[in-house]
Structure formats: structure tokens, C-alpha cells
Amino acid sequence: MTRSLQEISDRLEIQDLLVDYSHAIDHADWDALDELFTIDAVIDYTEMGGPRGNLAEIKDFLRSALPVFASYQHLVATSKVTVAGDLAHGRTICHNPMVLASGDADPQVLVFGLWYRDTFRRTRDGWRISDRYEERCYVPPGFWTTRP
């Protein structure tokens, strides 16, 4: 399949969004998220145990929830992206180890697996995420007794 230079450029910009999101989260740079999402974005973390909300609500959640972890990484790979004009849809794997410090005890490493299901929109400032849904794949054993 031959891709146009525009589609190649679009795909690279979208890939950069995915990487920039991971870096922003892993460095607790919440304001960097403003450059990645549209102003009307909806972000849904409910399947992984978080809230659904707009960017401001999600930034508040991240500020309050993530400090319980000593460290974490968001490793994204194998994105499937379909571009159609000024909209694109993607599904991207995320492997997310998180270190839970537990006082004097040895820290626990919790490993989460998910897919980001995204809608991307081309704006005058470039591609942005307009809708993000975290689809659960796996969580640490016993993390939830029932699936939401």
C-alpha cells in the first residue's frame, strides 16, 4: 500500500502525540497535556479504575492519584491508526509498570496492560486527541475483586 506524504506526516504527528502523552504522565508534567488534547476532549479511565471527564478534571485526578506511586512508566507500542481527512482513529497498546512504595517494606511493582482507543482531530495547531478511552487488558492479580 502506497501512502501519500500527507498521510505519512499525519501518522508521524499522531505517533508523537502518543509518545508525548507518555512522557508528560511519567514526568508529572500535567500542563504539557494541554498541547496534546483538544479543548473539548473527553478522557475515560473508568475501565482501569479512574474517572471519565474533561482535561481539567483528568489533570486534577492525575495530580491526586499518581503521587502514591514511587515511579511508573507508560510503554506504548503497536499503534493501529486509520486516517480519514481531518479525523483519525487509533488503538495503541500500553504496558504500564507502577512501583508502589510501601513504607519500610520492599516496594511492589504492579503491572497494568491496556489499549488506548483514541480519536484524533486535526486542528489549526496540528493533531490533537479529542477522545481517549482506556480499555483494560490485564491488571495485577487481586487488584480488583470484580471487574467494573
The cell for 115 is 489499549
Q: Is residue 134 part of a domain?
A: yes
| Containing structural domain, residue 103 | 5-138
Q: Is residue 21 part of a domain?
A: yes
Q: Is residue 143 part of a domain?
A: no
Number of domains in the chain: 1
Residue of 82 and 147 predicted with greater confidence: 82
Q: Is residue 144 part of a domain?
A: no
CATH (domain of 107): 3.10.450.50
Q: Is residue 146 part of a domain?
A: no
Reported in sequence order, the residue ranges of 4-139 that DSSP labels E, i.e. its strands, are 37-44, 52-53, 69-72, 75-84, 87-102, 105-123, 126-138
Span 90-103, pLDDT tens digits = 999 999 999 987 77
Span 49-81, pLDDT tens digits = 999 999 999 999 999 999 989 999 999 999 999
Assess contact for 29 and 63: CB atoms under 8 A.
no
Q: Is residue 148 part of a domain?
A: no
- State the pTM of this model: 0.91
Query: Could you tell me how many residues make up the chain?
Result: 148
Q: Report how far residue 143's alpha carbon sits from residue 36's, in angstroms, rounded to the nearest whole number.
A: 30
Alpha helices by DSSP H, the chain? 5-26, 55-65
The cell for 45 is 479511565
